[in-house]
A and B are shown apart, each in its own frame.
Chain A
Amino acid sequence: MSSNIRTPMDAAVNATTLTPNGEKPVTEVATQPSRRAFLTTGGTALVLGFVVPRLARAEGLANGIMTPEAASAAGVQLNAFVSIDTAGKVTLMSHRSEMGQGAYSVVPQILAEELEVDIATIAIVVAEGDPQKYGSQLTGGSSTVRGGITQLLKTGATARDMLVRAAATRWNVAPDTCKARLGQVTHTASGRTLGYGALVEDAAKLTPNKDVALKDRKDWTLIGKPIPRADTPLKVNGSARFGIDVRIPGMLFAVVERSPRFVGKVKSFDATKALLVPGVKHVVKTERDVFGKMREGVAVVATSTWAAIKGRRALVVEWDNTGIPEVSSASLTAALKTSLSSKPLNAKTKGDVAAALGATPAVDAIYETPYQAHACMEPINCTAHVTDTAAEIWGPVQAPDWNRGHLAGALKLPMEKVKVNMTFLGGGFGRKAFTDFPLEAALVSRAVKAPVQVVWTREDDLSVGPFRPGAIYHLRGALKDGKISAIEATMAAQNLMEQEPGDTPKKPNDNVTEGLAETYLEMVPNYQFGDVPLVSPVPVMWWRSVYSSTNSFAYESFLDEMARAAKMDPIAFRRQHFDSPRLHALVDKLESVSGWKDRKAGTGYGMSLTYCFSSWAAHVVKVSKAGTGIRIDKVWTVLDCGVAVNPDVIRQQVEGSIVMALGAAVTHEVTFAMGSAVKKNFDTYQLPRLRDIPPIEVHIMENGEPAGGVGEPGLPGLTPALTNAIYDLTGSRIRKLPFDLAKV
Chain B
Amino acid sequence: MKTKLTVNGRTHEVDADADTPLLWVLRDHLGLTGTKYGCGIARCGACTVHVDGRAVRSCRQELQTVAATAKITTIETLDQNARGKALQEAWIEHSVPQCGYCQSGFLMAATSLLERTPNPTDAQIDTAISNLCRCGTYPRMHAAIRSAARRLTTSEAP
Across the interface, which residues of A come within 8 angstroms of B29, CB to CB?
Answer: 18, 304
Q: Tell me the smallest distance from the CB of B118 to a CB of chain A, in Å.
A: 19
The A/B interface has a contact count, at CB < 8 Å, of 195
Of A237, A660, A683, the contact of B134 (CB 8 Å cutoff)? A660
Within 8 A of A (CB), among B63-89: 74-76, 78-79, 88
Interface centre among B76, B95, B101, B130 (most CB of A within 10 A): B101
Is A238 a contact partner of B99 (Cβ separation < 8 A)?
no
In whole angstroms, what is the CA distance A71 to B150 when docked?
57
Is A228 a contact partner of B92 (Cβ separation < 8 A)?
yes
Across the interface, which residues of B come within 8 angstroms of A244, CB to CB?
Answer: 33, 36-37
Is A690 a contact partner of B129 (Cβ separation < 8 A)?
yes
Q: Tell me the smallest distance from the CB of A247 to a CB of chain B, in Å.
A: 6
Is A100 a contact partner of B135 (Cβ separation < 8 A)?
yes
> Nearest residue in B to A695 (C-beta to C-beta)?
B139
Is B137 a contact partner of A377 (Cβ separation < 8 A)?
no
Is B88 a contact partner of A237 (Cβ separation < 8 A)?
yes
Instruction: Give the interface size class of chain B.
Output: 35 or more
Beta-carbon contacts of A694-736 to B below 8 Å, as 1s and 0s? Answer: 0110000000000000000000000000000000000000000
Total A residues in contact with B, Cβ cutoff 8 Å: 70
Is B16 a contact partner of A304 (Cβ separation < 8 A)?
yes
In whole angstroms, what is the CA distance A99 to B100 when docked?
9
Within 8 A of A (CB), among B3-62: 16-17, 20-21, 24, 27-41, 43-44, 46
Beta-carbon contacts of B122-158 to A below 8 Å, as 1s and 0s? Answer: 0001110111111111111110000000000000000
Beta-carbon contacts of B85-110 to A below 8 Å, as 1s and 0s? Answer: 00010011001111111111001000
User: Is A567 at the interface (CB under 8 A from chain B)?
Assistant: no
> Nearest residue in A to B17 (C-beta to C-beta)?
A278
Across the interface, which residues of B come within 8 angstroms of A229, CB to CB?
Answer: 95, 97
Q: Tell me the smallest distance from the CB of A734 to a CB of chain B, in Å.
A: 22
Q: Tell me the smallest distance from the CB of A450 to a CB of chain B, in Å.
A: 15
In whole angstroms, what is the CA distance A309 to B40 when docked?
11
Is A245 a contact partner of B138 (Cβ separation < 8 A)?
no
> Nearest residue in B to A693 (C-beta to C-beta)?
B138
Across the interface, which residues of A come within 8 angstroms of B95, CB to CB?
Answer: 228-229, 232, 648-649, 652
In whole angstroms, what is the CA distance A239 to B101 when docked?
11
Q: 10 closest pairs, A vs B, by CB?
A: A238-B34, A659-B136, A426-B101, A235-B100, A100-B99, A238-B75, A100-B98, A656-B136, A691-B126, A245-B33
22 A-B contacts, Cβ less than 8 Å apart? Answer: A17-B30, A18-B31, A99-B99, A232-B100, A236-B88, A236-B92, A236-B103, A237-B34, A237-B79, A238-B32, A238-B35, A240-B100, A304-B29, A309-B40, A377-B133, A379-B38, A426-B36, A458-B40, A659-B135, A688-B136, A689-B126, A695-B139
Further contacts, 17 of them, CB under 8 A, given A232-B92, A304-B29, A683-B43: A15-B31, A18-B30, A100-B100, A231-B100, A232-B91, A236-B96, A237-B76, A245-B33, A306-B17, A310-B17, A376-B99, A458-B39, A648-B95, A656-B135, A659-B136, A690-B130, A696-B139
